[in-house]
């Protein structure tokens, strides 16, 4: 897709801080991180917005989300229990969609935001 920032990142014509890649998906660091860990998970194929997705995209959407636990381990923000059984670690996942949903880049992306608190806008 011409003039799409994330298509250009997927094609390598605009540089990014890549943390994971396979045939279908690319994961790179957000340029303005909202937390110690802030990744963007994108399909290499252009889809403008979640609002354009249908049941035929269920596999792709599932694989985007299913990658998150592996990324959390890689980034050191997985949910785990300490010796007292208290949970620690963690992250948020978010897909902004459309103007009212705060979407700025019209190439589908899943935010993964995590790491030790405090984060911007969150205690
Ligand atoms: P949206 O608001 O569309 O859900 O999020 C777009 C995200 O892309 C923002 O968090 C923004 O910081 C990030 N972003 C925008 N331009 C670039 C860029 O050129 N490189 C990277 N790595 N992230 C970008
Ligand atoms: Zn695109």
Question: Domain-by-domain residue ranges, the chain?
Answer: 5-46+59-114
Residue of 6, 10, 21, 31 best suited for mutating to test ligand 1, as the one with most atoms within 8 Å of CB? 31
Per CATH, the number for 5-46+59-114 is 3.30.428.10
Helix (H, G, I), strand (E, B) or coil at 111: strand
Tell me the pLDDT tens digit for each residue of 106-120.
999 999 999 999 998
Q: Where are the alpha helices (DSSP H) in the chain?
A: 5-11, 58-66, 68-75
Task: For the full predicted model, state whether its pTM sits above 0.75.
Answer: yes
Whether the CB of 100 sits within 6 Å of ligand 1: no
37 CB burial (10 A radius; 0-12, 13-18, 19+): buried
Tell me the pLDDT tens digit for each residue of 53-107.
999 999 999 999 999 999 999 999 999 999 999 999 999 999 999 999 999 999 9
How far does residue 109's CA lie from ligand 2's centre (Å)? 10
Annotation marks residue 109 as catalytic: yes
C-alpha distances out from residue 56 to 36, 52, 70, 101, Å:
34, 11, 24, 23
72 vs 123: which has the higher pLDDT:
72
For residue 4, give the ligand nearest its CA. 2
Which one from 38, 107, 109, 111 is the annotated catalytic residue?
109
pLDDT of residue 123: 66
pLDDT of residue 89: 96
pLDDT bucket at 122, cuts 50 / 70 / 90: confident
Average pLDDT, the chain: 96
Q: Which two tokens mark 36?
A: 């110690």
pLDDT of residue 99: 98
């Amino acid at each position: 897709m011409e003039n799409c920032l994330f298509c250009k990142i997927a094609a390598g014509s605009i540089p990014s801080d890549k943390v994971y890649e396979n045939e279908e998906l690319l994961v790179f660091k957000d340029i303005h991180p909202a937390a110690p860990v802030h990744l963007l998970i994108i399909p290499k194929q252009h889809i403008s917005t979640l609002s354009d997705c249908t049941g035929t995209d269920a596999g792709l959407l599932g694989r985007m989300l299913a990658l998150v636990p592996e990324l959390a381990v890689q980034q050191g923000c997985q949910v785990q229990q300490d010796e007292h059984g208290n949970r620690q670690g963690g992250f948020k996942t978010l897909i902004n969609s459309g103007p009212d949903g705060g979407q700025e880049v019209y190439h589908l992306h899943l935010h993964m935001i995590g790491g030790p608190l405090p984060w911007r806008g969150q205690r």
